[in-house]
Amino acid sequence: MIYGAMKFSLGGSLKLAFRPWVEGLENVPAEGPAILASNHLSFSDSFFLPAVLDRKVTFIAKAEYFTTPGVKGRLTAAFFKGVGQLPVDRSGARGAGEAAIKAGIEVIESGGLFGIYPEGTRSPDGRLYRGKPGGLARVALATGAPVIPVAMIDTEKIQPPGKVLPKLMRPGIRIGKPLDFSRYQGMDGDRFILRSVTDEVMYEIMKLSGQEYVDIYATAAKRQMAEAEKAAKEAVKEEIAAREESGA
């Protein structure tokens, strides 16, 4: 009921204000389990995709969103529960990875749609990064559920970093044909199979999105960018200090 109410209010508002265009809706089954594997450009991806689908989509979110104390914390938890987000405890030996896999399997076994971002985090520059072979492939091979590649288009342009107010523009969503990996079912312990499945899905996402593909993880790219920015700032400070010392 909460999801339905949120979908009607928030989803309806998003569709009315931004008028997202969609291709390939027929590729999402009317019933039964499936995995929606999408690129990740913006925080809003988890809202635009469910807004255009008739069925509920369950994504995962860090448990902190659901356990923060106070009025703001309770409101945040209610919001994330309302939009179908599932809390994942990142503690333990293998952290979020194992928790995400368990959560995904539970959603699939209940006959639902499980949404996942194989890149593991938002793209820092709009390019498509290497998919992580854990969650997506292991859920697919453990359950035999079809994987449906999804491409979010231009969602990162709606509210770029540093911008408070969103830009009213039409984002797009392309939904590809389901991929069948049942031939590998039960082989979720083979890292080469996991890599192969993940790469195949990422290739389909790349074709749908038209993004430039970068064969490194987005987390590594973000780290490199942060280090480069830090080095640039240090270089400027050193140059200023040198000029002051020389009296220039």
Give the CA distances from residue 185 to residues 141, 176, 205, in Å, rounded to whole numbers and listed in that order: 4, 21, 22
**Roughly what angle, to the nearest 10 degrees, separates helices 95-109 and 135-143?**
30
Pairwise CA distance, residues 189 & 43, whole Å: 31
Exposed (0-12), middle (13-18) or buried (19+): which is 98, by Cβ within 10 Å? middle
| pLDDT at residue number 180 | 96
| pLDDT at residue number 7 | 67
Q: Give the domain ranges of the chain.
A: 1-214, 216-247
Q: For residue 115, how many other CB atoms are within 10 A of its CB?
A: 27
Residue 232 token pair: 């640039």
Residue found under tokens 């400070």: 237
Residue 231 token pair: 């080095």
Question: Looking at 71-75, 94-98, 188-192, which range is the least confident one?
Answer: 94-98
**CATH superfamily of domain region 1-214:** Glycerol-3-phosphate (1)-acyltransferase (3.40.1130.10)
Pairwise CA distance, residues 38 & 163, whole Å: 24
pLDDT for 47 beyond 90: no
| pLDDT at residue number 93 | 45
pLDDT tens digit sequence for 60-69: 776 666 677 7
Quick check: 49 and 27 in contact, CB under 8 A? no
- For 29, phi then psi, to 5°, come to -65, 145
pTM: predicted TM-score of the whole model, two decimal places: 0.85
